[in-house]
C-alpha cells in the first residue's frame, strides 16, 4: 500500500532501481527476483510461526512433523538456494560483460580516478580526434561502450548506478567495464570506494545523448576553445592556472589538474561539488579546500576579486 | 591398568564428507586460479580444464555417497531412532553413523554448490 508513496524516491539519476542501461536492468531484475523470492519465503516462515502459535491446536504426529522438517527445512532450502545461486551465477556474464574484449584497449574510453576528480580520455573515432576531458562523461544512447579504468593514487570505484554495476579502480591495474546505455538522460556517478577527505565530493555527471548530438559534442570537444583574447584568458595563463590545467586551443597541454576545455559545457564544478555558475567557479578558485577538504588544487585567495571574476567569466563563458 | 583402551574407537570417519568437500573446493579453486594466471601459456583450454574439474566433482560426489552408505550401514539402515544418547558402545556407534550420514548429505550439497560457478562461468576475467 505504501509502495506508490515510497517508490518515487527510488527514481532519478542515481538509482539502480531506475535502470537506464542494459546492465543496470539485469541488476534490477536480479534484485526483483531476490526480493520477491525472499518475500515469499518470509511469508511462508511467518505463516508457519502463526500456525505453531495457534490457539486450539491439534498436535502434529511425530512422523508428520518429521516430514515437514525434512521437506520444508532441508529439501526446499537446498533446491531454492541452488536455483538462486545458479540464476545469479548465470546472470553474471551479462551483468559484467568484462569478458567482451571485442573492443581493443586503445578504443576504450579511459577513466582515471584521482583524488578527488576523474580524468577522462576519449579515443580517436570515426575521423574524430582523441581528446582529454574531466568530470563529465557523455555517451551515445544504444551503443556499447567500454571503459579502461585506472587509479592514479589510491583505490577509487567507478559506478554509474543507472547504467550498471560498479568496478574498482586500482593503482597499477587496468580494469575493464562495458556498458550499454538504453535511455537518454542525465545521470550521476559517485565514487564508490572511500578515497580520502573529499571522497563524498568525488562524482561525475553522465549525459546519455542521441548519436547526432553526441557526435556534435565530440567534434566540438576535439576542436577545443577558440582563443578570444579576453582578460580572463590572459589572467588564466598569467596566474599559473595553465601550469596544471589545459584549455585546448588556448593554452599549452598541462596534465596535473582536470582539463578545462569547454568548461562551460560542464554541469558542475569540482567533480560534482557545486553547480557550474560563475559565482561557484570563483568560490572554488579562491579556496578549493574550503569546498573540498584535501583538494590538491592550491587556494588562490591572494588574487583580486576582479581577477578571479574575470577568470571565472572566461571559464564559464562562450568557449 | 592401561591408559589406552585395547581398541581405539575413532571419530575420524565422521569427517570423511567434509574433508572431501574441502579437498574438492581447494582443487577447483586452485586449478582455476593457476589456469587463469597462466591462461595464455597453458597446454590445455579452459573447456578441458573444466571437464577435468567436472570429473573431480563426480569423484568427490561418489566418495561422499560411499561414505554416506557406510554410515547408513553403521546406523543399521535406520533401524533405530535417534538420539542414541545412552552411554553404551552400541549407541555411540549408532550416533556416529547417523551424524556421519547427515554430514555426508551436507557435504554432497556443498560440493554441488561449489560446482555451480564451474559449470556456468566460461572464462577467466582478463
Ligand atoms: Cu574516489
Average the pLDDT over B94-116 and give the result.
91
C-alpha cell at position A219: 567534434
Chain B residue nearest residue A89, CA to CA: B117
Cell for A174?
Answer: 587496468
Provide the residue ranges of all domains of chain A, joining segments of one domain with +.
13-220, 231-316
Size (chain B), residues: 126
Q: pLDDT tens digits for B8-37?
A: 567 778 888 999 999 999 999 999 888 888
Per-residue pLDDT band at B117 (split at 50, 70, 90):
confident
Whether the predicted pLDDT of A285 surpasses 90: yes
A149 alpha carbon to ligand 1 midpoint, in Å?
12
ipTM: 0.76
Cα A117 to middle of ligand 1, angstroms: 7
Is the Cβ–Cβ distance between A270 and A282 less than 8 Å?
no
Place A98 in a pLDDT band, splitting at 50, 70 and 90: low
- Considering the domain A13-220 in this protein, what is its CATH number? 2.60.40.420
Rounded CA-CA distance A130/A109 in Å is: 10
Q: Using CB atoms and an 8 Å cut-off, which of residues 76-105 of chain B contact chain A?
A: 105
On the question of a common fold for A13-220 and A231-316, the answer reads: yes
Q: Please count the other Cβ atoms lying within 10 Å of the Cβ belonging to residue A268.
A: 18
- Tell me, what's the pLDDT at A12? 78
**In the predicted model, is pLDDT for residue A2 greater than 60?**
no
| Answer CATH for A231-316 from 3.40.30.10, 3.20.20.150, 2.60.40.420, 2.40.30.10 | 2.60.40.420
Residue B1: pLDDT above 60?
A: no
Average pLDDT over residues A234-255: 90
Q: What angle do CA B71, B76, B82 make, to 5 degrees?
A: 85
By C-alpha distance, which of A121, A109, A199, A189 is closest to A154? A199
pTM of the model: 0.80
Which CB contacts under 8 angstroms, 24+ apart, belong to A220-223?
A220/A262, A220/A265, A221/A122, A221/A131, A221/A133, A221/A261, A221/A262, A221/A265, A222/A122, A222/A128, A222/A129, A222/A130, A222/A131, A223/A249
What value does the mean pLDDT take over residues A141-166?
93
pLDDT band at A168 (very low <50, low <70, confident <90, very high): very high
CA of A12 to the centre of ligand 1 (A): 22
A159 contacts A147 by C-beta, under 8 angstroms: no
pLDDT for residue B78 is more than 80 = no
C-alpha to C-alpha distance for A244 and A237, rounded to whole angstroms: 10
Say if B121 is an interface residue toward chain A (CB within 8 Å).
Answer: yes
* 3-state SS, residue B5: coil
- What phi and psi values does residue B29 have, to the nearest 5 degrees? -60, -50
Q: pLDDT tens digits, residue range A116-152?
A: 999 999 998 877 889 999 999 999 999 989 999 999 9
- Assigned C-alpha cell, B76: 543399521
Distance A155 CA to ligand 1 centre (A): 7
The alpha-helical segments, DSSP class H, found in chain B are 16-37, 46-74, 89-120
The residue of chain A nearest to residue B118, with distances taken between CA atoms, is A89
Count of other CB atoms within 10 angstroms of residue A21: 25
The answer to whether A96 touches A30, Cβ cutoff 8 Å, is no
Confirm or reject contact between B123 and chain A (CB < 8 A): yes
Q: Check A82 against B120: CB less than 8 A apart.
A: no
Amino acid at each position: 500500500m505504501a509502495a506508490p508513496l515510497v517508490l518515487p524516491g527510488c527514481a532519478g539519476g542515481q538509482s539502480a532501481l531506475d535502470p537506464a542501461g542494459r546492465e543496470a536492468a539485469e541488476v534490477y531484475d536480479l534484485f526483483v527476483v531476490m526480493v520477491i523470492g525472499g518475500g515469499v519465503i518470509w511469508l511462508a516462515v511467518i505463516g508457519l510461526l502463526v500456525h505453531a502459535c495457534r490457539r486450539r491446536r491439534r498436535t502434529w504426529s511425530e512422523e508428520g512433523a518429521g516430514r515437514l522438517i525434512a521437506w520444508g527445512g532441508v529439501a526446499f532450502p537446498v533446491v531454492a538456494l541452488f536455483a538462486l545461486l545458479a540464476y545469479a551465477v548465470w546472470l553474471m556474464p551479462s551483468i559484467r560483460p568484462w569478458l567482451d574484449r571485442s573492443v581493443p584497449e586503445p578504443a576504450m574510453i579511459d577513466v582515471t580516478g584521482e583524488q578527488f576528480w576523474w580524468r577522462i580520455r576519449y579515443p580517436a573515432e570515426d575521423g574524430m580526434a582523441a581528446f582529454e576531458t574531466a568530470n563529465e562523461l557523455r555517451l551515445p544512447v544504444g551503443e556499447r561502450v567500454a571503459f579502461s579504468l585506472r587509479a592514479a593514487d589510491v583505490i577509487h570505484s567507478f559506478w554509474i548506478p543507472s547504467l550498471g554495476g560498479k568496478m574498482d579502480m586500482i593503482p597499477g591495474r587496468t580494469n575493464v567495464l562495458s556498458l550499454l546505455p538504453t535511455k537518454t538522460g542525465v545521470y550521476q556517478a559517485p565514487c564508490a570506494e572511500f578515497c580520502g577527505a573529499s571522497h563524498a565530493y568525488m562524482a561525475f555527471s553522465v549525459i546519455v545523448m542521441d548519436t547526432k548530438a553526441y557526435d556534435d559534442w565530440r567534434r566540438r570537444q576535439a576542436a577545443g576553445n577558440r582563443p578570444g583574447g579576453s582578460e580572463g584568458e590572459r589572467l588564466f595563463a598569467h596566474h599559473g592556472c595553465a601550469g596544471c590545467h589545459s584549455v585546448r586551443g588556448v593554452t599549452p597541454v598541462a596534465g596535473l589538474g582536470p582539463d578545462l576545455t569547454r568548461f562551460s559545457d560542464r554541469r558542475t564544478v569540482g567533480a560534482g561539488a557545486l553547480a557550474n555558475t560563475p559565482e561557484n567557479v570563483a568560490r572554488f578558485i579562491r579556496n578549493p579546500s574550503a569546498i573540498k577538504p584535501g583538494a590538491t588544487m592550491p587556494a588562490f585567495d591572494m588574487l583580486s576579486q576582479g581577477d578571479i571574476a574575470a577568470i571565472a567569466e572566461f571559464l564559464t563563458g562562450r568557449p | 591398568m592401561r591408559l589406552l583402551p585395547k581398541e581405539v574407537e575413532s571419530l575420524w570417519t565422521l569427517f570423511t564428507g567434509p574433508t572431501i568437500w574441502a579437498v574438492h573446493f581447494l582443487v577447483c579453486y586452485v586449478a582455476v586460479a593457476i589456469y587463469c594466471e597462466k591462461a595464455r601459456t597453458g597446454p590445455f583450454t579452459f573447456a578441458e580444464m573444466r571437464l577435468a574439474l567436472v570429473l573431480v566433482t563426480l569423484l568427490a560426489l561418489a566418495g561422499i555417497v560411499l561414505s554416506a552408505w557406510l554410515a547408513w550401514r553403521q546406523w543399521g539402515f535406520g533401524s533405530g531412532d535417534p538420539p542414541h544418547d545412552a552411554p553404551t558402545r552400541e549407541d555411540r556407534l549408532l550416533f556416529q553413523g547417523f551424524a556421519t550420514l547427515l554430514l555426508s548429505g551436507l557435504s554432497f550439497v556443498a560440493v554441488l554448490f561449489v560446482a555451480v560457478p564451474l559449470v556456468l562461468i566460461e572464462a577467466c576475467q582478463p
